[in-house]
Structure 1
Amino acid sequence: MAAPSLSVAALQMPPGHEDLALNRRMLEEAITQAVKAGAQLVALPELALMPYFCAAPAGKYRHWAESVQGESSVWCAELAQRLGCAILLPLYEHDSQNDCYHNTVIGFDRQGKKLCNGALARKLHLPVNDYPPPGFDEAAHFTPGNELQTFEIEGWRCAVLICYDRRFPECWRALRQAGVELVIVPVAGSGGDDAAFFLGELRTHAKENGLIVLCANKVGDEWLDGMVTDNYGESCVINADGTILAHRSREQGPGVVNATLDYQQLDQIRKQLRYFDDRRSDLFGPVSHRWVR
């Protein structure tokens, strides 16, 4: 049974460094701050442990990759247990068994136990964008995942959509069909045009599907190989009716975005906004959620 309320936090982090140990220390300080403010679940931006590197030649930064049981996993498990909060950690994963690399999220509960004993999500859709130059090519760096795991935090049914996966309405509908209540969206969001639509897109997905959204992004100019990634922030918590519960803009810089979720309110919203129940699946068929575990 879900707890009546759940306190969540998204960390809007500053640009990452090539010194991964420094990034980890910065994350630990921010997570500690979020927990002191009452967070029971903390979400981090996509590839939070390093700069976004997908404009670089394929393979250049593979020395940053690690397994889901690696050093960062051990660090995060110990931190979750010490602070008594659940943490979702984005990871550049090396799957040595299949000799491939993934854009991944793993997670730990407040006892430091790994959620689902492995990856909660491996990014399903890998964007390629060559304009404006130099662009980026995630397909050159990662192998796409083929499934998502659902998991519980204090009885709330959760799932993760990594950055570009949020663009696809089928993902949201499949998660709702699988019984999900809270969707965590770690992003590496950059570019002025995208920023203008970012919140509206998330609010629409939340309202159309009766899902709560917890989204974390970096903020500020991140430099790597002489190129800059303009992270626009906009980390947020969005209720199931599309209402913004908490938000942090680019101008506000790094910080903790926190809110308390109300389970009774979620139930009321779903009863009031009947989009999911009223859809004519007899006309267009159900969205498959066989890939959601």
Structure 2
Amino acid sequence: MTDTIRIAVAQTAITTDPATNGAAIHDAMRSAADQGARLVHFAEGALSGYAGADKPYYTGWDIDWAPVTEALHRTAALAAELGVWVAVGGNHRLTGGHRPHNSLWVIDDRGEPVDRYDKRLLSYAEVTGLYTPGDHVCAFEVDGFRFGCLICIEVNFPELWIEQRAAGVDCVLFSTYSEDPVFETIVRAHAAMHGYWVSIALPAQCAHVTPSAVIGPHGHPLRHARAGGSDVICVDLDRTDPALDVALHKAPAWRATARAGEVYAARRVTDPRSAGRTVL
């Protein structure tokens, strides 16, 4: 197991044209690889476009899937060429008249798809008219680091972030297409409570409000992308960083002990001043 891994967060402009999106994704992948990144993380809908505000005409089955598929295959081929892993957002086609998933495709450094995360807890608009909800947790390993995936409004459901801790992830890849600045505040709390890194990937057009970032397991930002336009930032996740010792090692161990409860049960006492809760 290695102690460090370099990841990249790509803040690309997202359009309704998969070919245009793909070109931006490929430029970002090359930049990340040049900086030594092993994994490149992209926003919700980065490849296909997002069905909501970015595709106002969308009804669930009128997407031209050919350019989406072509852009995805080109992305996989480039991942193999550059030797990097990719987690990239987009619409995943289902069969018949079923609406697609809102997904993160996970592609390894050989260009092979190893998993796909399908957003499970959708917004009202998504579940009633845009997407089919997913049904599984996605966690995968790169160079001894375990990564999990969550998407957009799933930031608001603490049980999903507890689930990530239970799955043993070191870093959550959180992709969104949102201009709500409170998302980063909530993410920072999740990171600090559970002691993992969180990568936040947003589109370039949202960055003027809340740019992409990597949050440390202590809940503090390690680096932000620029607040306007496209950008690629690289951050080393380092298990040996002294500044993260409490957050990574001491706090999680103590919280596990606290949740188990024995340390408290052994120290409780029978005392009238404890039992009499209305006694001043």
Give me the TM-score of the superposition, normalised by structure 2: 0.82
Please report how far the alpha carbon of residue 268 of structure 1 lies from its aligned counterpart in structure 2 after TM superposition.
5.1
| Aligned match of 1:150 | 139
For 1:157 and 1:11, the matched residues in 2 are separated by 19
SS of 1:138's partner is: helix
Q: Determine which of 262, 268, 272 is the counterpart of 2:250.
A: 272
Greater shift, 89-98 or 30-39, is seen at: 89-98
**Is the Cα contact below 8 Å between 1:47 and 1:90 reproduced in 2?**
yes
**Is the Cα contact below 8 Å between 1:241 and 1:273 reproduced in 2?**
no
- 1:229-244 mapped onto 2 (5 Å cutoff): 232-244=209-221
Please report how far the alpha carbon of residue 199 of structure 1 lies from its aligned counterpart in structure 2 after TM superposition.
2.2
Deviation by residue 1:25-75 (Cα, 9 ceiling, x = unmatched) = 11111111111112111001100024433143551673145799x433321
Deviation by residue 1:219-258 (Cα, 9 ceiling, x = unmatched) = 327xxxxxxxx973420111111121111253x4320121
Identity %: 28
**Is the Cα contact below 8 Å between 1:65 and 1:92 reproduced in 2?**
no
For 1:262 and 1:278, the matched residues in 2 are separated by 25
For 2:21 and 2:65, the matched residues in 1 are separated by 14
| Aligned match of 2:100 | 101
SS of 1:280's partner is: helix
| Aligned match of 2:236 | 260
Q: Determine which of 224, 235, 242 is the counterpart of 1:247.
A: 224
| Aligned match of 2:160 | 171
| Higher strand residue share | 1
Please report how far the alpha carbon of residue 281 of structure 1 lies from its aligned counterpart in structure 2 after TM superposition.
6.3
SS of 1:261's partner is: strand
Deviation by residue 1:77-110 (Cα, 9 ceiling, x = unmatched) = 2111101111112120112278341001111111
For 1:278 and 1:67, the matched residues in 2 are separated by 52
For 2:158 and 2:190, the matched residues in 1 are separated by 7
| Aligned match of 1:77 | 76
| Aligned match of 1:24 | 22
For 2:135 and 2:208, the matched residues in 1 are separated by 27
Could you say if the C-alpha distance between residues 25 and 247 of structure 1 is closer, same or farther in structure 2, counting changes exceeding 3 Å? same
Could you say if the C-alpha distance between residues 146 and 269 of structure 1 is closer, same or farther in structure 2, counting changes exceeding 3 Å? same
Where in structure 1 are there 5+ consecutive unaligned residues? 129-136, 222-229, 283-293
| Aligned match of 2:268 | none
Q: Determine which of 19, 25, 33 is the counterpart of 2:31.
A: 33
**Rg larger for:** 2
Could you say if the C-alpha distance between residues 233 and 50 of structure 1 is closer, same or farther in structure 2, counting changes exceeding 3 Å? farther
SS of 2:219's partner is: coil
Alpha-carbon RMSD across the aligned residues, in angstroms, is: 2.6
Residues 1:218 and 2:203 are matched in the alignment: yes
User: Runs (4+) of structure 1 moved beyond 4 Å?
Assistant: 64-68
Could you say if the C-alpha distance between residues 53 and 260 of structure 1 is closer, same or farther in structure 2, counting changes exceeding 3 Å? same
| Higher helix residue share | 2
